[in-house]
Amino acid sequence: MKSLRKKTLFITVLILCVIFNILAWMSRSFADFFTDNIFTVITKPYGRLTSLVKFSVGEIMLIVLVLIAICIVFCLAAKLFFIFRKRMAPSWLKALEGILLKVLPPLFLTVCVIMSMNCFVLYHCTPIKAGEVSKGSYNIGELAILRDYIVNKCNELSLEVPRDEEGCVIFEGDMAETAKEAVRGLSGEYKRFDGYFVTPKVLTFSGFMSQQYMQGYYFPFSMEANINGEMYIMNKPFTMCHELCHTAGYIYEDEANFLGFLSCIKSDNMIFNYSGYLGVLAYVNNDFYRSVDREEYRKHVAISEEVKFDSQFLTDKAWDEVEKRAIFDTETVRKAADTFIDTNLKVNGVSAGKASYSHVVGLLLDYYNNNPYN
């Protein structure tokens, strides 16, 4: 009877998850309603709980998941070994199988429920607008104006921020708290930016994250905004704001990039301002570079040496440390990460895959079309 109840519960929850995801795929109104009215009610108290500890709860969860996967592989291999040898499986293997059979069904259901409510449904919300009027398409001249504006802002701010003897930017104060205040500053313009925000956390395995060329992660299972602690300081403010935007229900990368940019440039902190412009510089500059010939590109504002330095992902010293501690080859890790991210985006209906990261340029053009450059 108890076993029947468990099976019934398993099947019922699984069916509800399937129905929930079908509704999200079929109806933007449903996805919007859930995200605006239920998502925040569920996630903010949970976020408060995981924010009580300084380490990344999501990172611990991933480690446990990897250990469980290793146990499954080991168990299957051991079973095949004893079958091949025509020997009876030892008691310890039967005990391990029993534990896995008890753990895996509820774990699978938990993953399905959390990913459905904290991740999958968010991909089907109505895309944000960057202003009242959207032209839909822009010409090269308008892209050039945006590109030169961003470059000028970066060039100017690069000369104003404090630096140490090695030329690295110095930040004084609590960066995580400043990031939380920055994203709250968007509460009057966009939904779900008021109230509580989790505290961004640095990942313990930031070296492995660096090998993936990743700056931050949003963990749906722990509602955390995690960042790469190894990366150069000027990446951190923008990344913190970007990941915090994900925790507010903005799962699209282009939207999180745009909202992270907006959070930073509207902040009272100059380093956040600079990080915001730096965060979108590569997207805008690369789009412009691909749209014109080299001669035309050279006619426009040059990116200063200070900005080029501040645009680095990791310093040479940090890269040396990462490579010394690396267990796997960096190129292999990067390719695997790129494939996973691209596949995940496409599975969730983002047909452009990883290329969607660059769609932020369209949002920026819309924003400045509605808000004159200053």
The candidate with the shortest Cα–Cα distance to 97, out of 119, 75, 123, is 75
283 located within any domain: yes
52 located within any domain: yes
Same domain, 173 and 232: yes
pLDDT score of 277 more than 80: yes
pLDDT tier at 2, thresholds 50, 70, 90: low
Same domain, 177 and 63: no
Domain boundary pick from 89, 124, 159: 124
pLDDT of residue 272: 98
Same domain, 112 and 150: no
Domain boundary pick from 124, 152, 169: 124
Same domain, 158 and 70: no
pLDDT of residue 131: 75
Amino acid at 60: I
Which is more confident, 315 or 186? 186
Quick one: what percent of the chain has pLDDT higher than 90?
61
Axis crossing angle, helix 270-291 with helix 175-184, rounded to the nearest 10: 70
Same domain, 144 and 115: no
Which residue range is the domain that position 310 belongs to? 140-370
Which is more confident, 324 or 13? 13
pLDDT score of 137 more than 90: no
pLDDT of residue 213: 86
Q: Please report how many Cα atoms fall inside a 13 Å half-sphere around the Cα of residue 248, on the Cβ side.
A: 28
DSSP assigned state of 1: -
Same domain, 213 and 293: yes
Q: Hey, which of 39-48, 109-118, 264-273 has the most confident mean pLDDT?
A: 264-273
102 located within any domain: yes
Average pLDDT, rounded, for the chain: 87
Same domain, 76 and 159: no
Q: Parallel, antiparallel, or unpaired: how do β-strands 201-202 and 216-219 relate? A: unpaired
pLDDT score of 88 more than 90: no
| Mean pLDDT calculated for residue range 70-93 | 85
Domain boundary pick from 64, 98, 124: 124
Tokens 């090269």 appear where?
A: 140
Q: Are the CB atoms for 304 and 222 separated by under 8 Å?
A: no
Condensed to tens digits (0 to 9), the pLDDT of residues 29-45 reads 999 999 999 998 888 89
Same domain, 345 and 209: yes
Q: How many domains does the chain have?
A: 2
pLDDT of residue 322: 74
pLDDT score of 293 more than 80: yes
135 located within any domain: no
Mean pLDDT lowest for which of 60-69, 99-108, 181-190, 345-354? 345-354
Question: What is the SS3 assignment for 36?
Answer: helix
In sequence order, the β-bridge partners of residue 217 are 226
Cβ-based neighbour number of residue 211 at 10 Å: 25
Q: What is the largest CA-CA distance in the chain?
A: 78
Same domain, 27 and 172: no
Question: What is the SS3 assignment for 202?
Answer: strand
Same domain, 108 and 206: no
pLDDT of residue 320: 83
Condensed to tens digits (0 to 9), the pLDDT of residues 209-261 reads 888 888 999 999 999 999 999 999 999 999 999 999 999 999 999 999 999 99
Tokens 């960042």 appear where?
A: 227
pLDDT of residue 146: 95
- Using only C-alpha atoms, the chain has a radius of gyration, in whole angstroms, of 23
CA distance 147 to 75: 56
Q: Please report how many Cα atoms fall inside a 13 Å half-sphere around the Cα of residue 52, on the Cβ side.
A: 6
Phi-psi region of 153 (alpha: psi -120 to 50; beta: other; left: phi over 0): alpha
What does the chain come to in residues?
Answer: 374
298 located within any domain: yes
pLDDT tier at 121, thresholds 50, 70, 90: very high
Same domain, 190 and 282: yes
257 located within any domain: yes
pLDDT score of 351 more than 50: no
Same domain, 105 and 148: no
pLDDT score of 205 more than 50: yes
Mean pLDDT lowest for which of 109-118, 135-144, 179-188? 135-144
152 located within any domain: yes
pLDDT score of 341 more than 50: no
133 located within any domain: no
Contacts 24+ apart (CB under 8 A), 116-120: 116/17, 116/20, 116/21, 116/24, 117/20, 117/34, 117/38, 117/39, 117/42, 118/39, 118/43, 118/220, 118/221, 118/223, 119/220, 119/251, 119/348, 120/21, 120/24, 120/348
CA distance 348 to 327: 31
